[in-house]
Amino acid sequence: MGCVKRLRTAPFVGWALFSAAGSVNNPGMKLTKEQLLVNYRKMRMIRSFEEKLNELVNSGRLGGFLHLSIGQEAVAAGVCAHLSERDYVSTTHRGHGHCIAKGVRVKGMMAELFGRSTGLCKGKGGSMHIADMDQGMLGANGIVGAGIPLATGAALTCKLKKTGGVAVAFFGDGASNQGQFHEALNMASNWKLPALYVVENNGWGEFTPTEFVVPVRDIAVRADSYAMRSAIADGNDFFDVYEKAGEAIAAARAGEGPTLLECKTYRYMGHYVGDPLAYRPPGEVDRWKNEHDALTGFESRVKADGVIEDMELRRIDEEVVEELSAAVADAENDPVPAVEALYEDVYAKE
């Protein structure tokens, strides 16, 4: 396989970002204790939700083709911490974390993944088509890059209707090579839309290292082509993402137009659940896990600052486990959609 022959030996370039900067950034950043706990809970929920999915698929209790974002939790949480119900988010094939961070109910997500009629899309969407319009979640998407123009359209709606809302598109480094990325950024900048484009550069697109297919070191520079503001964040540092996303979203709300925010991160899991990861350079996954994990970093920071005690975080961990167990039990017992529902909520009918 060509991929094996070309296996990279150097660590992913994103590594340089945090090893040079250190893992604790933005000492001036202000969040209340309550906000910190809310965001820890979100990140813990994202990770535990996906660890649970991994376990369910591997034990044969859950079917379907799933993509997990374990390792990237700080991006979803740090960006969505600035959003409310008037704001929109679009996501990708790897979108559970963005849904949770945006406030989508875990119970409805779990039921959707199990294909139950109680699911957010009545059991007919599944992991890659999960959506929740009540929360401004425009949907996951199996087509790489397709969420980018969707969020751009939502940003145009916010602008025309003067809602004060913003729209955020989350997507991967691979998606930044798609034509629709460039078309959408051009339009958004030209029309000064209240949009934020968050590229999660996790170093891999399927089984290919990013630098094999992206000639620029920083995807953020692509914003220059469209006279758009850009920023680079350490995507495994919640506080850095929070600060940079906050600046971008404030500018968008103030009518100053969109930003391309590149978050350098890493995903611990393969492209899909079941991917044996044989193509990753030895030690790469462990290095990120052991030296720059988003949750461990957050925990060390808040404990060192003396804001939060260990037992408060452990209580959240337990609550998350309980909530997930209940969601799985409910989902397993809920009914599948009735055959008569086949033609409901679809555009094309016989």
Give the binding site for ligand TPP (CB under 6 A).
93-94, 142-144, 171-175, 202, 204-206, 271
| Structure tokens, 51 | 């660890």
- Residues 261 and 201: their CA atoms lie apart, in Å, by 10
| Nearest Cα to Cα of residue 189 among 263, 89, 244, 256 | 256
**Contact yes or no for 117/335 (Cβ under 8 A):** yes
Report the residue number, 68 or 249, with the smaller CB distance to ligand TPP. Answer: 68
Write down the least CB distance from residue 130 to ligand TPP, Å.
Answer: 15
- Residues 100 and 87: their CA atoms lie apart, in Å, by 14
Write down the least CB distance from residue 211 to ligand TPP, Å.
Answer: 12
Write down the least CB distance from residue 288 to ligand TPP, Å.
Answer: 14
Write down the least CB distance from residue 140 to ligand TPP, Å.
Answer: 11
Q: Which residue number is nearest to ligand TPP in terms of Cβ?
A: 172
Compute φ and ψ for 233, nearest 5 degrees: -120, 150
Paired strand residues for 204: 209
Report the residue number, 88 or 170, with the smaller CB distance to ligand TPP. Answer: 170
| Nearest Cα to Cα of residue 84 among 43, 32, 137, 44 | 137
| Nearest Cα to Cα of residue 78 among 295, 254, 315, 252 | 295
Write down the least CB distance from residue 241 to ligand TPP, Å.
Answer: 16
Report the residue number, 118 or 201, with the smaller CB distance to ligand TPP. Answer: 201
Report the residue number, 69 or 118, with the smaller CB distance to ligand TPP. Answer: 69
| Structure tokens, 8 | 């990279």
Report the residue number, 213 or 336, with the smaller CB distance to ligand TPP. Answer: 213
Write down the least CB distance from residue 67 to ligand TPP, Å.
Answer: 6
DSSP letter for 217, please.
S
Position 346: which residue type? V
**Contact yes or no for 49/112 (Cβ under 8 A):** no
Number of DSSP helices (H) and strands (E) in the chain, helices first:
13, 8
Report the residue number, 115 or 174, with the smaller CB distance to ligand TPP. Answer: 174
